[in-house]
Amino acid sequence: MPDIFEIDLNVSEERLKGISEETGTGLSLDELKVIRDYFVKEGRNPKDIELQALGQAWSEHCCYKSSKYYLKRYLFNFDAPQNLFVIKEDAGLVEFDKDHAYAVALESHNHPSAIEPYGGAATGIGGILRDVVCMGAQPIALVDPIFFAPPTTSSELIPKGVKHPKYIFSGVVDGIRDYGNRVGIPTVSGMTAFHKGYLGNCLVNVGCVGIVKKKDIVYSRVGNVGDIYVLAGGGTGRDGIHGVTFASKELDDDSQVSSRSAVQVGDPIMKEPLIHACLEANEKKLLTGLKDLGGGGLSCVVGEMALAGGYGAKVTLENVHLKEKDLLPWEIWVSESQERMMMSVREKDLNKVLKIFRKWDVPAVVIGKVIQEKRLLIEWHGETIFDMDLEFLTEGPMYKRPFKKVSTRNENVEFGEPEDYNGTLLSLLKDYNCACDDWVVRQYDFEVRARTFSPPLVGMENCETHADASIIKPLEDSERGLALTSDVNPHFMVLDPFWGAASAVDEAVRNLVAVGARPHSFADCLNFGNPEKPEKMWEFVQAVQGLAHVISKIGATFVSGNVSLYNEGPAGACPPTPTIMGIGLIDDVNKSVTTPFKGNGNLIYIIGNTKDELGGSAYLRYRGIAGGIVPRVNPYELSNASFSLIELMGKGMVISCHDISEGGICCTLAEMCIGNEIGAAITLKGKLRPDKELFSESNTRWICEIDPNDRAEFEDGLRAHQVAFTILGATGGDRLRMAKDGKMLVDIEVKSMKEAWQRPLWDIMG
């Protein structure tokens, strides 16, 4: 059997469709016609390896053909002075101090995790680490926003070809844990959300932040003609073949079997020395370019690096080191086997680079060189099997896909007041979306490398509560820190994708501000359904506009991101989920603030306005009520309140702080009480009905604990920025008491709340 095939595209439309299916390239009929026209001008038919490369480069995952029109129009036209290099690189680069930058990346590994939860999640971590390393940055922290159907889902509701969400949840956490812990990078922040809409397609988003000296920043482009391509890391195998085309279509009931080979196999034991070797070679100024082999493998990395530098490339494919024998050339070219990095190196520095990789016991081989002409040439045992114009290969199509508005339930609903407020609060604390997620967090080593200043769980031993954001101290000789959080509420998104997306940014800002950090940059991972369905495209466009509504007003922008479409399976599409990763800068980590109440007799304030906005709230879900008004966002109020609180925190006036999100004021106060087992007495003073005031999830709100001696200065500071506030009560005792108009609504022991809040995930997951 020959290694290389010619493919005749001068055939009927029906046959063209068959070619796409048979080759697994995922190319549409129109795309194949464009490709056919190109090769007619070339005077020949394409080789199989050329068509496979186009399938990778033009996949949704690689070229964002359905999303980039709307992203460019609405979202990526804002800038901020701290941004150094954004969007076009594998990770965004943002100024940390005068000598250092931090790198930010956020990606998805959804389809692989649905098929093989452990391996899919693990290789997601591996990929996001490489994205940061290829900027010359040392990874310092990982983030894991993950989304599943409830683990209590009845087996009778599981469609054919879908794994049980409890199995998927457990496997995903195991994969993130084992890869992150073994490579020695702490997983310090994240979120775990549950919604029945994730039954057919879980979402596994992973983020990473790294630190780099500005003088050591390296880019994903070659340096000059004559530079040598060096491929380093693990061998190339059949795992991960057609990974990006698999990620660019819906799952079906056969995907568990037919697409398993598209899932890569991770090797964290190879990854750690690979990171060390790459960073050492870069610090010694031996590299002219560095890029990871992610989506599309060699078929994307070689051409993208060459064209970004303004050149072309010539590759000797048989030099690629393999995991197994008898791989066909096109399989080698498109394989997404893990733990591989590509470097461009000046010829005079080649031996020095190879020596470094030998020292770290990491394979590294020469596979090609940079050429003047903007073409990609591949040789296989002396025969040219690939010869294409790089701009045609890498540009890919761009579609302005039509969208159709979906009727939403974002309107007010009528319902009665609950009879038992104590029971309602305890039930909300047991809700998987409100309950403690330390079953997840405690499996991760979140303090490895000793840079975690404030961890994801804070408070007394065995009473720890959730931190709003974790804080990393990247440099030994500097007290400056980075705060990390990730946020989105899928229940808001289902009701109103515009305001749900806006709320995700608001919550990310709130979480950063709650620890004393000023919002500095953001990354987004936009997880949506099939863009070829107008209703799903409408959700995407609405969400992008919602993100832009807030991001354009707060002085910090998106510096990196990812779009993951076709998140649909036998059970339907996932909820629209624009995951936001927020990065905050804090000048002195010693002035940071944590969630738990710290003492007795301190004043408790609510910052911001509480409105009748319960759409998608934990309270209405508990009551079984659909609809309601999804919380709105006023970006100017968010900006003013954030600035004011950060200023007051810098003066040491805020003892504890927690943002108000799921479960409203009631659950927020409960979590603040639990952390140090300190109670509180609260009197509600708003105009809303008591349950609406307690459980509203309106945006731009925090609970703060203040020393009574600082009351006047604290209030003056808020008034100076026109920030709304109200004194709710004071800390003390061992119970949470909440009253309104002389009526006691809630009166519960802190220990009872802690028991309800801590147990749910442990009880179901073991």
C-alpha to C-alpha distances, 617 to 93, 343, 452, nearest whole angstrom: 36, 49, 32
Range 342-347 average pLDDT: 98
Is 50 exceeded by the pLDDT of residue 583? yes
Query: How much is the average pLDDT of 663-692?
Result: 97
If one compares 72 and 482, the residue with the highest pLDDT of the two is 482
Among residues 61, 111, 520, 658, which one is catalytic? Answer: 61
Would the CA dihedral through 528, 532, 536, 538 be positive or negative? positive
Q: Mean pLDDT throughout 111-119?
A: 92
In the predicted structure, residue 255 carries a pLDDT above the cut 60: no
Q: In what order do the strands lie in the sheet with 92-95?
A: 83-85, 92-95, 100-108, 203-213, 138-148, 187-194
Q: Of the ranges 314-328, 356-370, 696-710, which one carries the lowest mean pLDDT score?
A: 314-328
Using one digit for the tens of pLDDT, what is the confidence trace for 27-73? 999 999 999 999 999 999 999 999 999 999 998 888 899 999 999 88
Instruction: Indicate if the pLDDT at residue 296 is higher than 90.
Output: no
Burial of 313 (0-12, 13-18, 19+ CB in 10 A): buried
Written as one string, the DSSP assignment of 503-539 is: HHHHHHHHHHHHTTPEEEEEEEEEE-S-TTSHHHHHH
Tens of pLDDT, residue by residue over 649-674, are 999 999 999 999 999 999 999 999 99
- Phi first, then psi, for residue 246 (nearest 5°) are -65, -40
Annotation says 61 is catalytic: yes
Mean pLDDT value of segment 585-604: 97
Q: Annotated catalytic residue: which of 109, 195, 491, 520?
A: 109
Query: Confidence band (pLDDT; 50, 70, 90) for 558?
Result: very high
**Annotation says 109 is catalytic:** yes
The per-residue pLDDT for 258 is 45
Q: Which of 275-279, 452-456, 568-572 has the lowest mean pLDDT?
A: 568-572
Describe the strand order of the beta sheet including 289-292 as a list of residue ranges: 289-292, 340-345, 228-233, 364-371, 312-316, 375-380, 383-389
| 8 A C-beta contact, residue 114 and residue 167 | no
> Does residue 536 carry a pLDDT above 90?
yes
Domains of the chain, CATH where assigned: 1-77 (1.10.8.750), 81-395 (3.90.650.10), 593-766 (3.90.650.10)
Position 239 scores a pLDDT of 81
Q: How far apart are CA 567 and CA 418, in angstroms?
A: 37
Average pLDDT over residues 451-475: 96
